[in-house]
Structures are given as structure tokens and as C-alpha cells.
Amino acid sequence: MRIVLIHPNYHSGGAEIAGSWPPAWAAYIGGALKAAGFTDVTFIDAMTHHLDDDTVRARLRDLQPDVIGATAITPSIYKAERLLEIAKEEVPEAVTVLGGVHATFMYQQVLTEAPFIDAIVRGEGEEIIVNLVRAVDEGRWPADRAAVRGIAYRDENREQIIATPAAPTVKDLDAITPDWGLLSWDDYRYVPLGVKVAIPNMARGCPFTCSFCSQWKFWRDYRIRDPKKVVDEIEGLVNDHCVGFFILADEEPTINRKKFIQFCQGLIDRGLPDKITWGINTRVTDILRDEDLLPFYRKAGLVHVSLGTEAAAQLKLDRFNKETKVEENARAIRLLREADIFVEAQFIVGLDNETPETLEETYRMAKDWDPDLANWAMYTPWPFSPLFQDLGEKVEVFDFEKYNFVTPIMKPEAMDRAELLDRVMHNYRRFYMRKALLHYPWRGTGFRRRYLLGCLKAFLKAGVQRTFYDLGKVGYWGPQSKETVDFHFDERRTRAPLPASTDDWQAAAERGRKPDAPTEPEATMACGGGRQQMEDA
């Protein structure tokens, strides 16, 4: 049984400016398959290696796999569909499988527009893919595919789309052993430090039900790994693959304070901070809660924290229910700086009430708060989220390839999209010019200075190559080019029917949810923006 996993060749000029990120999904899926006895697994990373369709076609022709699997987030869905179309053309007898967040919830649309996909995995895939591959290996596919829980497919007449009952979530995360050896580690680099980078995870899911977010919907129930097992994994990445930097994939790894402390202590006990540094995303409230622990976190190797802060339009609209105040954001940033932890402020822009004045206010916030880094991300409602439906006719773009946080999907009432992009670029230019001239070369010595200059190098490299924010693709060269900016929306893409019913999915989510976690937000809640924090779980 030969299995090929493929990562789509999709680029958007967002997070890629900081490095080439290893597709962790391939390691976790590959590890599960190998643990089940399916050892002939090959991974093709078309994204990192910039492989075109013909190159992928040739690889598949040479490999002649029995099962071909791909994944897709919303913006990479069309690239993933095309890969599996090529797979079916080149190896007609192979079973083509697609997984990921977008396919999980939009499987009816995906199977309608991509009938060459034999099955969609709904949800986390380690156990589902093993059951599917086992059915193929034992000759029970497609006759017995209805017995495989957690998939969707077209019936034998290719007329009806069938979803089998939702599979349970993986209850024992510690039993999963990712096969990091599937990845070509020399190709995954963190630009600011020039070292190999990894993206392990400590927990899956989230105990909160933010109406715009995919995390709790996809993973359903919140589960956290044994911190010792996570440290084991990181130690293996250091020793076996010479990884020098990692980012925890969790949306909010500090949510379970007790486990996060144990994780940090484990890193310290093994001397790993001398070999590897790391970063996280988290909330302002967690930083304020852990004020006294920040030096301890830094001792454990934590050097970069990305904070979801505020946007001026957000403050007016109160759409996200962040439960933080402007002065709390400023204080959290100051505390992190004092602990010698680099801080990145994340701003959401492009809400329907955005104006040039509100964008100017976000710049003033960034200037006054003085984070080391700042990022302005475009407001992007996922097509399977309640928020998408609530926005109704305000959503005008249905070309999912542009749902990448750098393309203005939403059009503010007071601005057109080109002006929105221009004002965001104006913020970037001013912020990083000021940092480059007044801060980065002069603040601190040693590691701090090297890191900041490395971040500047990443921005400059992306700017020169015109990859930052897709500027080269849309034809933006500065304020003088606003009239000629073209986002190349595929207007053939129209509003899809409502996503398929996931009643069984949601019921499983609620059964697995913590009893003290909120289930119905009073308003749209930002990442981790619930009314309670988990001290332990």
C-alpha cells in the first residue's frame, strides 16, 4: 500500500514573510499511518518547493500510489482540488482524499465542484485516515465505505453526496507520534534567526465558541497533551532535525496556566532554552494574569509573543467582544518588553465601518504602545462561520483563494478596497521605517539586536521581492497606483449554498465541551475572548 500526501502550492504574502513553515499535518497523519502498519508514505511539499502542476504530475506518475491525500485551508482549497484532479488523471485507480477545515464544513460544495475527489475527511484525520486506508488495503473500498465514520463522498451513481456519522475526536493525543522525518528540514527556516523552524502543538480545540472562528468548530472538544510529551517532541526536533525555533500551533497555549507552567519547567529542566527559542499567540488578559511569571517564561526560551490587541473600528463597533481595554493592551506590551520578550501587536482592519481615520488611529496605537512588531490583518469571515451568514449581502467576494488575511474581502462603506490597502501599507511604511531608523539598530545588544534586525530583514526581503501582502500580484506600487490596483477576484465564484448540516458534529462538540465553558456568546468574540479562563483542565 503506497500513500502519497501533498501540500498545495499556495502563497499569499502573509505569514510566509517570516519563513518557510513545515506542514505539521503531514507529520501527524504520516505518523498515524506508519503506527498502523502503513509504512510506505511519501510527502510532496508543493508549497515550500514551489512545485508546478507538471512537476507534481510527474512525481505521481513515478510513484503510482494507491491513496493520495491533500489538505486545504479556505484560501488553498482550489489549489488542493486541482492537485487531486491531476492525481485522478495520472493515477485513475488511486483513491483521492481531501482533509482540512474548509473541506470538513464545505464538503457538499467541494464534492460538487470537484467530483474527482473520492472522499473528504471531516475533522482531525489521524484515526479516520487509518480506517479509510485500511478499507482500501483490505479491498473493502468503495463497497464498504459507508462503514468508515467521519467521511463524505459521492454515491456510486455520482449523484448524491453522503456524509457518514461524525467520528469521535482523538481522545489520547499523547498516543499520536508524528513522523517528522517525512519533512525536508533544510527547507524550513525562520528568517529572523536563520534557523530551522517547527510548529508543534500542545492542545487541540478551544473551550470558547467564537462565532467567527474555526478552531472550536473543527476540533470540537478541548484536549491538552501531557506537557512532558510535548517537551519530548521538541527535544526530538532539536536532536534529530537541528530545529532552532518553534511556534506552538495552539490558538492560546497559555489558556491552561498549570500545564503551560509545567511545559516551561520541562524545557528548563532539560536545558533546551540553550538550544532553541520559541514563540506563541495569546491574549492580553493572559499576559496580565501571568505578570509575575513572564521572567520565568523568558527563562524557558519564550522570546516572541503575538497579541490580539484592538482596532479602532472594532472599538466603535464592539463586534469582537474582546473584554480588554486600550490601556490593558499598552500595559501587556510594556510587561513583555520588560521581561525581554519580543511583542507583536495584531490589528484587525477592514470592518464595514472602517475609515481612513480609524486606520490612522491603529497606527497611533502602534506608535504609542511601542510593540517590537505590528501586523495589520484584513478582516476575513470564514464561509462556514455564523458570522459569514450574519454579514449577509455585505459579503461580496466568494473567491475563496483570496480569503488570506491580506486581501480586502470586505469593502468598508467609507472606502474602496484599493484605498483600504493603501492606508494599511501607509501604516506599515511608517511603523517599520521608524523602527528601522530609531529602534532596531540601537535597542539592546546580542540576541535582542540580532532578532530585531532579522525581523527587519524579513520585511525588507518580502518588500523587495514584492511578495509582501501580495503586492506584486495586485499591482500596488504606492499611493500613486491606487487607481490601477486589481485584486483579480474570480467573479465566476458566487455565493454557495449554506454548508451542509453538521448537527451530529455540533452535538459531539457540545458533549465534549467543558461544563463551565460558554456555549452561546452574547456577541462575536475574538480569539480566546471568553468570559472565563482555564486555570486547569
* pLDDT value, residue 326: 75
The CA distances from residue 113 to 116, 267, 294, 335, 352, in Å, are 9, 47, 49, 50, 30
* pLDDT value, residue 207: 75
| DSSP state, residue 527 | T
For residues 70 and 77, give the distance between their C-alpha atoms in angstroms, rounded to a whole number: 10
Q: Is pLDDT above 70 for 355?
A: yes
Asked which of 81-85, 282-286, 418-422, 522-526 is least confident by mean pLDDT, the reply is 522-526
Once rounded to an integer, what is the mean pLDDT over residues 479-503? Answer: 83
Q: Is pLDDT above 80 for 510?
A: no
Q: Is pLDDT above 50 for 514?
A: no
Once rounded to an integer, what is the mean pLDDT over residues 388-401? Answer: 91
Once rounded to an integer, what is the mean pLDDT over residues 377-388? Answer: 87
Which residues lie across from 121 on neighbouring strands? 151
Q: How confident is the model at residue 205 (pLDDT cuts 50, 70, 90)?
A: confident
Q: Are strands 95-99 and 67-71 parallel, antiparallel or unpaired?
A: parallel
Query: 3-state SS string over 396-412?
Result: CCCCHHHCCCCCCCCCC
Q: How confident is the model at residue 218 (pLDDT cuts 50, 70, 90)?
A: confident
Between 271 and 515, the more confident residue is 271
Please spell the DSSP secondary structure of 142-202, one letter per residue: TTTGGGSTTEEEE-TTS--EEEPPPPPP-S-GGG----GGGS-GGG-EETTTTEEEE---S
Q: How confident is the model at residue 525 (pLDDT cuts 50, 70, 90)?
A: very low
Once rounded to an integer, what is the mean pLDDT over residues 377-387? Answer: 87
Once rounded to an integer, what is the mean pLDDT over residues 46-74? Answer: 97
- In this structure, are residues 244 and 195 in contact, taking their beta carbons and an 8 Å threshold? yes
* pLDDT value, residue 505: 64
Sign of CA dihedral 526, 529, 534, 537: negative
- In this structure, are residues 188 and 22 in contact, taking their beta carbons and an 8 Å threshold? yes
Q: How confident is the model at residue 384 (pLDDT cuts 50, 70, 90)?
A: confident
Q: HSE-up of 489 (CA within 13 Å, CB side)?
A: 16
Determine whether 340 is exposed, middle or buried from the number of CB atoms within 10 Å of its CB (0-12, 13-18, 19+): middle
pLDDT single digits (tens) 431-442? 999 999 888 888
The CA distances from residue 147 to 29, 35, 134, 142, 459, in Å, are 20, 22, 12, 10, 50
Asked which of 220-229, 272-281, 383-392, 524-533 is least confident by mean pLDDT, the reply is 524-533
Once rounded to an integer, what is the mean pLDDT over residues 41-51? Answer: 97
- Residue entry with cell 464538503: 107
3-state SS, residue 96? strand
- In this structure, are residues 530 and 284 in contact, taking their beta carbons and an 8 Å threshold? no
Asked which of 68-72, 174-178, 274-278, 458-462 is least confident by mean pLDDT, the reply is 458-462
- In this structure, are residues 457 and 466 in contact, taking their beta carbons and an 8 Å threshold? no
pLDDT single digits (tens) 63-101? 999 999 999 999 999 999 999 999 999 999 999 999 999
Once rounded to an integer, what is the mean pLDDT over residues 270-292? Answer: 96
Asked which of 18-32, 416-430, 436-450 is least confident by mean pLDDT, the reply is 436-450
Say how far residue 463 (Cα) sits from the centre of its chain: 22
Please spell the DSSP secondary structure of 56-77, one letter per residue: HHHHHHHH--SEEEEE--GGGH
Which residues lie across from 153 on neighbouring strands? 162
Once rounded to an integer, what is the mean pLDDT over residues 390-409? Answer: 93
pLDDT single digits (tens) 334-348? 999 999 999 999 998
Q: Is pLDDT above 80 for 524?
A: no
* pLDDT value, residue 197: 97
Say how far residue 183 (Cα) sits from the centre of its chain: 18
Cα-only R_g, the chain = 23
For residues 440 and 423, give the distance between their C-alpha atoms in angstroms, rounded to a whole number: 24
What b/e sequence results for 35-62 when a residue is b if at least 16 CB atoms lie within 10 Å of its CB, and e otherwise?
Answer: ebebeebbbbbbbbeebeeeebbebbee
For residues 257 and 253, give the distance between their C-alpha atoms in angstroms, rounded to a whole number: 8
Strand order in the sheet with 67-71: 41-45, 3-7, 67-71, 95-99, 119-121, 151-154, 161-163
* Mean of all residue pLDDT scores within the chain: 88
* pLDDT value, residue 527: 42
Diameter over CA atoms, the chain: 68
- In this structure, are residues 198 and 188 in contact, taking their beta carbons and an 8 Å threshold? yes
Percent of the residues in the chain that have a pLDDT greater than 90, as a whole number: 70
| DSSP state, residue 292 | G
110 closest CA partner among 52, 147, 163, 146: 163
- In this structure, are residues 44 and 4 in contact, taking their beta carbons and an 8 Å threshold? yes
pLDDT single digits (tens) 292-351? 999 999 999 999 999 987 555 555 544 444 455 677 888 999 999 999 999 999 998 998
Once rounded to an integer, what is the mean pLDDT over residues 397-420? Answer: 95
